[in-house]
Structure 1
Amino acid sequence: MAQKFSIDDLTDPQLSPEQRAYIASVEANPPVLTEDAILSAARDATGLSDFGPDDFRERLKILLDEWNGDTRAYALKRAFLLNYGIRYASNRLLIHDLLTRHPEIHDEPIERPIMVVGMPRSGTTHLLNLLGADSRLRSTPLWQTYAPVPNPKEPVGPDGVDPRYARVAASWEVQLASNPLSAAMHAMEPDHFHEDVELMGPNFAGYNFEWLARAPKFRDYYLSTDQTPHYEYMKTVLKIFQWQDVQAGGTRKRFVTKCPQHLEQLPVLKKVFPDATVAITYRDPVEVIQSAITMIAYGERMSYPTIDTQGLLAYWTDRVEKLLRACVRDRPIWPEEQSVDVPFDTFMKDDMAVVREVRRKAGLPETDQANRDVAAYIESHPRGKYGQLVYNLERDFGVSPDELRKRFDFYYEAYPFLRRPAK
């Protein structure tokens, strides 16, 4: 039985003296969020200077305008965003340099990937983990998505540990120390299978930036522009991973990835990955929203003096609705022979049945070894390993689940197999 947690101070965080002191120390020397600060730091970090095509600067400018316009944020939040910007810019330099030196990477075939698609908090991570445990497939671990190309200025140490891995491990320890319930909501260890949208970060594209900070201007820009170039960029990074595997003496394997953003980009996904198999998860949108905004609110306790719960509710209710309306509109573009529908309740009752169905659609034979791989993962990652969070939407966000659910009648009507929670 998983230990249950309730965040009683979600809307009025009670910080420790150490947390307040840390906030104050950064406030005393606030970071500067400018294009030059980010790009100069990336050049210094890598020793490189060629960022490739300059179109990314337009997207970076939109982000910087929004980040600098958030006057409520502590300097610590701005430092967090600055570090993200530097990491993405550094990765862009390293990726472009590698592709310039090894143009043959573009010829790597990404064949028949398996892609998990669905709302955040709808079982996508669990399904990806079960599929990714199969040693015949190639997943994208967090430490590698955060830094796809090694930095020659960061050689492997005497302990043999990749500095990229060590950096993510250290960051996760800091995260747990400052926000100990993070693991119960969304564990982010170095080996965690991460979302493929992270690979668009060096192109300063993708809806992942909305999770870093509410960014309505960037959201509107993203929704109004063709995302095909950014999906092609993501695919190129997958080619880099595959090329690296071969260079290290490994073999080419089919990728298994996941991302909620694909839910509103199904036509683009089909265009860029025409031979993919997609597994689309479905869940009550209210359960998704309350989980997502609770996680974000908890994560913001050291970013703002007060938590804007109504702002979070409004933004992410609208965002989930946009995802779902796009899914209802575009779902038919993926034919039956290339797709699997995964209702959340069905998945929770028999997750291995879903895994087998995805394998069947993907033309991946059942093997004893594959099932042993998955069984080993399940044994080492029991449900509720880090505890289970108890949500209270009405107390924390001032809206009843039934009232909020009315907004998503269209979704239940489109997918009758989805169970609507009883009032």
Structure 2
Amino acid sequence: MTNKIRIDDLAEPRLTPAQEAALAYGEAQLVDLSVDAVLAAAVQASGLDDFGPDDFRERLALWLSEMNEDDERTGLGRMSMFGDCVRHAVNRLRIHDLLKRHPEIHDVPIERPVVVVGLPRSGTTHLVNLIAADKRFRSMPLWESREPVPDQRETVPPGGVDPRWDRCNKAWEAARSALPLLASMHPMDPDHVHEELALELPDFSSYHIEWAARCPGWRDYYLSHDQTPHYAYLRTVLQILQWRRPRERWVLKSPQHLEQLGPLMTTFPDATVVVTHRDPVSVIQSTATMMTYSARLHYGHTRPDWYVEYWADRIRRLLDSAVRDRDLLPVDRTVDVRFHEFMADEMGTVERIYDAAGLELTPEARAQVVAYRDDHPRGRDGQIVYDLRADFAVDPQEVRAPFRSYIERFGVREEVR
């Protein structure tokens, strides 16, 4: 029986001793959230100094300025942002260095990927991990997404553990210790298949930072700029990963693609696109709960009302863009997956996707997918009980109202009443 978990302290968190200690430590640190400080730390950490084209500095500066201008950001939150930006900058240095030494990587083909596109919290993670269980596919585990190019100064002994995996695992264990319920909402263990969106971070773009900070200024900047160059950067990093460990085809996924179907199809014109659909109210209450829960470490006030308003608007923007650009998707290579149908028949959903992708679901591949499904039942780390009314003082029907046409067009089943 699944363990039901109710979070009843979103607005006024009851901090654990470990959380209080972490926050106190963060407040005692001086963090210079400037472009120069981030890049200097990256140069020192990597031993490299060529970042390539410097247009990224403007985007990095905007990320950092939103943190500097937010009086509610905790010292720990500032430390977290600084550390993430340094890691992205180190990755940029290593990527640029590798491409200079191996320009043939630019010729590596990325052909006929299967791309899962859908709202956050709509089953995309489970679906992409199911497909990735078929070993013919190339996918990107979280540890590889965090450091796509290894540090040349490190070696992996035969049969040994990649230092990148070890660092990722330590980060995950630290996150679980600091936020114990995170695994029940969004597991981030090193081997789970992650979003290729992470490969845009060394170029300091994507909507990813919206999951880490309150940054409406970045949202507006990102939405007002053509993302095609950053998708091209993403593809180049995929070529690096393919060059290092090739497979027949890639399986990818990111909710961001909903509002970037043009750049997505320009970058991967022969892709099979899987579009997941779920009641937007379920998505919003799940997202707002997760973000508010995490905010207890990064902000002085968790502000549940801010998160539900922000993500209700953000989900609307994602869906409006997806509906607007729907005609950009190839009719014969697009599969719509409704959440309730996926939950009722996971293997049937996988079969439909393979048919559209022109790929045989061989007995061996089926066995691999089934084994993953059986080993990863829904709610195995506990199941959070979400309550939009109690936690956010919001009527689900009011939240759903802007999405009526989307729900009717795609036959989405209402889950929250």
With 269-278 and 172-181 compared, the bigger mean Cα shift is at: 172-181
Q: How far did residue 21 of structure 1 move? A: 2.1
* Aligned equivalents of 1:171, 1:383: Cα separation in 2: 24
Alignment correspondent of 1:265: 260
Alignment-derived partner of residue 29 in structure 1: 29
Provide the residue aligned with 2:142 in structure 1: 142
> Aligned-pair distance for 1:374?
0.7
Letter of the 1:241 partner, please give it.
L
Structure 1 residue aligned with 2:379: 384
1:420 maps to a residue whose letter is: E
Instruction: Say which SS state the counterpart of residue 301 (structure 1) adopts.
Output: helix
Q: Deviations over 1:242-269 (max 9, x none)?
A: 1011xxxxx4320001000000111111
Q: Give the gaps of 5 or more residues in structure 2.
A: none
**Aligned residue in 2 for 1:125:** 125
Q: Is the 8 A contact 1:328 1:414 kept in 2?
A: no
1:336 to 331, 338, 341: 331
Instruction: Find the counterpart in structure 2 of residue 420 from structure 1.
Output: 414
- Contact 2:19/2:297, CA 8 A, preserved across alignment: yes
Aligned to 2:18: 18
The 3 A distance-change label for structure 1 pair 300 and 159 is: farther
- Distance in 1 between the 2:271 and 2:166 partners? 33
What's the TM-score, normalizing by structure 2? 0.98
Equivalent residue of 1:293, what SS?
helix
Aligned amino acid, residue 268 of structure 1: P
Match of 1:301 in 2: 296
1: CA distance between counterparts of 2:18 and 2:323?
A: 47
Structure 1 segment 106-185 matched on structure 2, within 5 A? 106-156=106-156, 160-185=160-185
Say which SS state the counterpart of residue 275 (structure 2) adopts. strand
**Residue type of the partner of 1:83?**
G
- Asked if 2 retains the 8 angstrom alpha-carbon contact of 1:157 and 1:163, the reply is no
Alignment partners' CA distance in 2, 1:392 and 1:399: 9
Aligned to 1:286: 281
How far did 1:159 drift? Answer: 7.6
- Coordinate RMSD, CA, aligned: 1.3
Alignment of 1:350-389 (within 5 A): 350-389=345-384
Distance 2:369 2:159 in 1: 30
Mapped to 2, the partners of 1:159 and 1:266 lie a distance apart of 41
Runs of 4 or more, structure 1, over 6 Å off, are none
- The one-letter code matched in structure 1 to 2:270 is D
TM alignment of 1:31-46, pairs within 5 A: 31-46=31-46
DSSP 3-state at the match of 1:226: coil
Who is 1:93 aligned against? 93
Once the two structures are TM-superposed, the CA of residue 158 in structure 1 deviates from its matched residue by: 8.8
Give, in angstroms, the shift of residue 155 of structure 1: 3.4
Q: How far off its partner does 1:313 sit?
A: 1.3
Residues 262-296 of structure 1 show CA distances to partners (whole Å, capped at 9, x for unaligned) of 00111111111000001000011010000011011
CA contact (8 A) 1:141 1:190 kept: yes
SS class of match (1:256)? strand
Distance in 2 between residues matched to 1:75 and 1:398, nearest whole Å: 30
Distance apart, 1:422 and its partner CA = 7.5
Instruction: Please give the alpha-carbon distance, in whole angstroms, between the structure 1 residues aligned to 2:269 and 2:29.
Output: 49
The AA in structure 2 aligned to 1:399 is: V
| Number of the residue aligned with 1:312 | 307
CA distance in 1, matches of 2:216, 2:359: 41
Q: Summarize deviations over 1:117-158 as a string: whole Å, max 9, x none.
A: 000000101110111101110111000010000012343379
The alignment's TM-score, normalised by the length of structure 1, stands at: 0.96
Identity %: 52
Contact 1:130 1:374 in 2 (8 A): yes
Moved more, 22-31 or 109-118: 22-31
Q: Hey, what's the Cα distance between the residues in 1 that align with 2:223 and 2:55?
A: 17
Compute the displacement of 1:316 (Å): 0.8
The 3 A distance-change label for structure 1 pair 21 and 159 is farther
- 1:18 deviation in Å? 3.0
Q: Residue type of the partner of 2:52?
A: G
Counterpart in the other structure of 1:400: 395
SS in 1 for 2:297: coil
State the distance in 2 between where 1:421 and 1:27 align.
42
1:248 counterpart residue number: none
CA contact 2:139–2:252 (8 Å) conserved in 1: yes
Unmatched 5+ residue regions in structure 1? Answer: 246-250
Distance between the aligned counterparts of 1:244 and 1:57, measured in 2? 29
The SS at the match of 1:252 is coil
State the distance in 2 between where 1:55 and 1:105 align. Answer: 22
SS for the counterpart of 1:31 is coil
Query: 2 CA distance for matches of 1:9 and 1:46?
Result: 41
**Structure 2 contact 10–304 (Cα < 8 Å) conserved:** no
